[in-house]
């Protein structure tokens, strides 16, 4: 039967497209980080930037931070931003980033763990 080679080819194609999609999302997370986060949080997640120091951002490489870091809280923070005492410490990204973008950024933050 000729259907088996066709099915194998289709299955292989689906697998390759899935793997390519995962790889693309990972690259996109890095690009999203560079575009939206690195100016305050630093390329390496340490927050050792002029703006990061000004607004006292967390060091994402700190094991204590990583242990307390919760995905749902992080997603809410990214979407809504942070305002303290009437001053915006982090702008909201709900209008700019999709839920998938936010999930990718959270996964990217996890890569800073020592």
> Which domains does the chain carry?
3-110 (1.10.760)
Report the 10 Å Cβ neighbour count for 75: 17
Report the 10 Å Cβ neighbour count for 84: 10
Show the tokens assigned to 101: 């973008």
Kindly give, in sequence order, each residue whose CB lies less than 8 Å from that of residue 60, ignoring residues fewer than 6 positions away: 41, 45, 46, 47, 66, 69, 109, 112, 113
**Nearest-CA neighbor of 32 among 43, 23, 47?**
43
The string of pLDDT tens digits covering residues 55-107 is 999 999 999 999 999 999 999 999 999 999 999 999 999 999 999 999 999 99
The string of pLDDT tens digits covering residues 11-42 is 666 755 555 454 445 458 999 999 999 999 99
Instruction: Write the burial class of residue 37 (CB in 10 Å: 0-12 exposed, 13-18 middle, 19+ buried).
Output: buried
Longest Cα–Cα distance of the chain, Å, equals 72
pTM of the model: 0.74
């Amino acid at each position: 039967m000729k259907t088996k080679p066709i099915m194998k080819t289709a299955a292989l194609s689906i697998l390759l497209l899935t793997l390519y999609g995962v790889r693309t999302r990972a690259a996109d997370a890095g690009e999203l980080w560079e575009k939206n986060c690195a100016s305050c949080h630093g390329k390496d997640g340490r927050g050792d930037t002029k703006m990061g120091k000004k607004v006292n951002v967390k060091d994402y490489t700190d094991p204590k931070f990583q242990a307390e870091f919760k995905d749902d809280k992080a997603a809410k923070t990214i979407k809504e931003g942070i305002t303290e005492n009437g001053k915006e410490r982090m702008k909201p990204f709900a209008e700019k980033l999709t839920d998938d973008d936010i999930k990718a950024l959270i996964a990217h933050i996890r890569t800073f763990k020592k």
